[in-house]
């Protein structure tokens, strides 16, 4: 089951990253977005390109940071991937996303949703960085789990858009909701899963000490 879930994770993140590189690298800017959004994209093209390609870096490198094999066998690669993930993916992607959130289609609800996503993405990345600088590995991992759940918003955004379009929901109605739906459940799920794993680890440790 874990192998399947990991395979699906890599498939979705690398797939969306590849999609972003193709769309923003080879197609005219705004070719794949709602016509009302295209005007904004063209007016802020440099920021859009920075956000698209830096987010693709985060999506590509993010899953590898949770690989036990990579972390144990190639720790230097793990560290360099982590630096690129945080410095290029999260920092550039978060700042550009925060800037673009003020122009988001869908009114104040969508703008606030995307702005909150960008702020939390930057904040959790900063906390992860400072934790590992202090040598607090467990705290670093916790913040990285939170951070990557927000990176995964790029995947969920597209999945929810696909579902809403298939269901025939008006874009102007679905998009403001998706601006929140693409990341809030991710963060809640990551927190839940971490707490379960953390409690299980503590229980095993107590049993070993008692034995």
Strand, coil or helix: 182: coil
pTM of the model: 0.90
Query: And the tokens for 26?
Result: 């080879």
Beta-carbon count within 10 A of 180 CB: 17
CA distance linking residue 96 with residue 59, whole number of Å? 16
CA distance 198 to 144: 15
pLDDT tens per residue, the chain (211 residues)? 677 788 999 999 999 999 999 999 999 998 889 888 999 999 999 999 999 999 999 999 999 999 999 999 999 999 999 999 999 999 999 999 999 999 999 999 999 999 999 999 999 999 999 999 999 999 999 999 999 999 999 999 999 999 999 999 999 999 999 999 999 999 999 998 877 665 544 554 455 455 5
Cα-to-chain-centroid distance, residue 123:
13
């Amino acid at each position: 089951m874990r192998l399947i879930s990991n395979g699906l994770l890599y498939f979705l993140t690398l797939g969306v990253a590849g999609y972003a590189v193709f769309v923003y690298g080879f197609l005219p800017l705004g070719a794949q977005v709602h016509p009302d959004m295209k005007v904004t994209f063209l007016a802020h093209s440099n920021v859009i390109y920075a956000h698209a390609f830096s987010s693709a870096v985060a999506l590509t490198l993010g899953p590898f940071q949770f690989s036990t094999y990579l972390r144990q066998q190639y720790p230097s690669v793990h560290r360099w991937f982590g630096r690129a993930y945080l410095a290029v993916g999260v920092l550039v992607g978060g700042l550009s996303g925060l800037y673009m959130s003020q122009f988001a289609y869908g009114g104040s609800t969508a703008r606030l949703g995307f702005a909150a996503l960008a702020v939390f993405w930057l904040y959790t990345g900063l906390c992860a960085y400072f934790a590992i600088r202090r040598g607090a590995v467990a705290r670093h991992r916790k913040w990285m789990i939170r951070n990557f759940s927000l990176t995964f918003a790029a995947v969920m955004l597209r999945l929810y858009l696909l579902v809403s379009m298939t269901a025939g929901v008006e874009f102007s109605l679905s998009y403001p909701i998706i601006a929140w739906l693409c990341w809030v459940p991710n963060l809640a799920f990551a927190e839940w899963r971490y707490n379960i794993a953390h409690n299980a680890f503590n229980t095993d440790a107590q049993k070993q000490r008692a034995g």
